[in-house]
């Protein structure tokens, strides 16, 4: 396979059985490579936006543990970590899976694990340090696990402010720090409680599914929760529902789904992939639809052009959708039945980019050489 | 030499040989199964991590046998070894 060139768009697909890389100069025709890490699950992988060159993959072997691997030649060679993140002996916990990997502000790399833990590396994933104030947060022994396990699946650094970060844990909720991880606080107020008619307080455990910052104003965060879709800006004391026009999960009267994606440069524009409900995690009616808001969540429109409208009985997992940095933006969606659909016009229309992959765990994007 | 150690023959499954510079078996001096893994980890960085979890227990889908007897249910430090024992590390038949 030809090596990607500077300026190419890269799409990374982590799957239940390995990692696949795609690249394109025009986002119309794509070249692929992989699978890498055959047989292992890659729940998340990124192209480091700081250099546009290093691919980090969170590789979980159910037998042999979870590590981070990196490649600086787009998969021609990999450096696999000798060890992965570890909890302390005193904790009684052991890392089983890595769910998320994110580049920090400077040279650091963050990993989110199962059981829920946040770890920091300053050597490209070779060694890891526990973020103890979160990992041994008072009351963590009572954190409830979600259906996928007690996992830390979302890490949102704050561009321009290395002391701030949000993280999401299923199903223990949202935590924020503004002192570089030395202390954390719960941030769940305003989310529906599972009890009918009740609303969560700031310290209630909630089942956050995914969050995304608005790149044009990182103080604004969008969230897909188990029970609803929300928006919250820094300084606000609660999450606000943004659900007009969305299909509802009949169990809770709230939209259900997993991904949340912000447009790379259009303020107030975000994308979700609603499912029929938590008891039936498929596209509603077997017809695939992505929903887009262009006004910060005041209303949503349904996008279907080019997407399968019958027999689409799959799920889009929490990291299964991403945007690229293009203008118009590319939006990419991976399914649990192994398809990747791509749009190169902000989601107005879609084409099949890949088919017959293993179950897609994550889709990420980047530009070779950096944006 | 581990104090109280014995000569132990260890076999590795194919999936772990890449972490042991291609060896399918190694001989170590050890008194317990925990010692065996510690010796492996010292000789082959990364190999011990793939056998034991953060608490020093065998990973969930990793099995260990001493000669023909399963010791997977025991804490590795409690598995006492005798001179000439053979330890087998095997993955569970799991996954798909």
Percent of chain A with pLDDT over 90: 95
pLDDT at A127: 96
pLDDT band at B1 (very low <50, low <70, confident <90, very high): very low
- Is some CB atom of chain A closer than 8 A to the CB atom of B24? no
The residue ranges of every structural domain in chain A are 9-367
Segment A199-214, tens digit of pLDDT: 999 999 999 999 999 9
HSE at residue B70, side-chain half, CA atoms within 13 A, is 8
pLDDT per residue as tens digits for the range A294-338: 999 999 999 999 999 999 999 999 999 999 999 999 999 999 999
Cross-strand pairs, A230: A223, A241
For chain A, the average pLDDT equals 96
**Model confidence pLDDT, tens digit, residues A159-214:** 999 999 999 999 899 999 999 999 999 999 999 999 889 999 999 999 999 999 99
Radius of gyration of chain A, Cα coordinates, nearest whole angstrom: 19
| Count of structural domains, chain B | 1
The residue among A37, A60, A63, A82 with the most chain B CBs within 10 A of its CB, best to mutate, is A63
Q: Which residue on chain B is closest to A37 by alpha carbon?
A: B15
- Which residues on B lie below 8 Å from A65 (Cβ)? 49-50, 53, 59
- Touching check for B70 and chain A: CB below 8 Å? no
Domain that holds residue B42: 7-91
Q: How near does any CA of chain A get to the CA of B65, in Å?
A: 16
Percentage of residues in chain A with pLDDT exceeding 70?
99
Listed in sequence order, the residues at least 6 apart from A12 whose beta carbon sits closer than 8 Å to its beta carbon are A19, A20, A21, A22, A45, A46, A47, A55, A362, A363, A364, A365, A366
Lowest mean pLDDT among A139-143, B3-7, B31-35: B3-7
B19: nearest CA partner in chain A: A82
CA closest to A358 among chain B residues: B96
Residue B77 lies in a domain: yes
DSSP state of A193: P
Encoded tokens for A72: 């600086």
CATH number reported for the structural domain that contains residue B55 in this entry:
3.10.20.30
Within 8 A of B53 by CB-CB distance, chain A residues are: 65, 94-96
B41-55 confidence digits (pLDDT tens): 999 999 999 999 999
Q: Average of pLDDT values for A69-74?
A: 98
The two structure tokens encoding residue A152: 């830390």
Q: How many CB atoms lie within 10 A of CB A371?
A: 11
Nearest to A63 among B54, B56, B91 (CB): B91
Q: What's residue B95's pLDDT?
A: 62
- Per the CB < 8 A criterion, the answer to whether B2 and B29 are in contact is yes
Q: B50 and A84: CB-CB below 8 Å?
A: no
Cβ contact, residue pair A82, B49, below 8 Å: yes
The verdict on residue B1 lying in a domain is: no
Assigned architecture for domain A9-367 = 7 Propeller (2.130)
* Run of H or E including B70: strand B69-70
Q: What is the ipTM of this complex?
A: 0.93
């Amino acid at each position: 396979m030809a090596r990607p060139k500077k300026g190419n768009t890269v799409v990374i697909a982590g799957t239940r059985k390995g990692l696949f890389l795609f690249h394109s100069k025009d986002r119309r025709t794509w070249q692929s490579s992989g699978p890498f890490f055959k047989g292992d699950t890659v729940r998340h992988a990124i192209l480091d936006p700081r250099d546009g060159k290093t691919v980090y993959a969170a590789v979980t072997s159910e037998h042999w543990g979870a590590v981070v691997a990196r490649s600086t030649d787009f998969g021609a060679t990999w450096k696999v970590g000798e060890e992965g993140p570890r909890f302390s002996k005193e904790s009684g916990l052991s890392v089983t899976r890595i769910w998320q990997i994110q580049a920090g502000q400077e040279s650091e790399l963050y990993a989110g694990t199962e059981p829920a833990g946040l770890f920091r590396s300053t050597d490209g994933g070779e060694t890891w340090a526990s973020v103890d104030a979160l990992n041994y947060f008072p009351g963590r022994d009572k954190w409830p696990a979600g259906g996928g396990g007690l996992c830390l699946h979302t890490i949102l650094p704050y561009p321009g402010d290395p002391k701030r970060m949000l993280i999401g844990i299923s199903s223990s909720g949202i935590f924020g720090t503004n002192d570089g991880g030395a202390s954390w606080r719960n941030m769940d107020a305003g989310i529906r409680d599972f009890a009918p008619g009740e609303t969560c307080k700031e310290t209630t455990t909630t089942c956050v599914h995914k969050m995304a910052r608005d790149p044009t104003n990182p103080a604004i965060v969008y969230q897909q929760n188990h029970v609803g879709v929300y928006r919250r800006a820094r300084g606000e004391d609660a999450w606000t529902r943004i659900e007009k026009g969305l299909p509802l999960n009949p169990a809770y009267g709230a939209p259900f789904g997993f991904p949340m994606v912000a447009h790379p440069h259009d303020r107030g524009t975000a994308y979700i992939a609603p499912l029929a409900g938590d008891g039936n995690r498929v596209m509603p009616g077997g017809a695939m639809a992505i929903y887009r808001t262009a006004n910060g969540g005041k209303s949503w429109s349904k996008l279907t052009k080019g997407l399968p409208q019958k027999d689409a009985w799959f799920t889009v997992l929490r990291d299964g959708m991403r945007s690229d940095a293009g203008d118009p933006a590319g939006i990419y969606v991976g399914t649990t039945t192994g398809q990747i659909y791509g749009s190169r016009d902000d989601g107005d229309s879609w084409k099949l980019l890949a088919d017959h992959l293993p179950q897609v765990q994550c889709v990420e994007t980047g530009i070779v050489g950096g944006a | 030499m581990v104090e109280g150690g014995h000569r132990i023959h260890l076999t590795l499954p194919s999936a772990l040989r890449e972490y042991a510079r291609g060896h399918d078996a190694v001989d170590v001096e050890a008194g317990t199964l925990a010692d065996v893994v510690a010796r492996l980890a010292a000789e082959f960085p990364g190999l011990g991590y793939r056998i034991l979890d953060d608490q020093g227990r065998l990973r969930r889908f990793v099995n260990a046998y001493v000669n023909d007897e399963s010791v997977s249910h025991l804490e590795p430090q409690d598995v006492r070894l005798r001179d000439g024992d053979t330890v087998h590390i095997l993955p569970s038949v799991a996954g798909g």
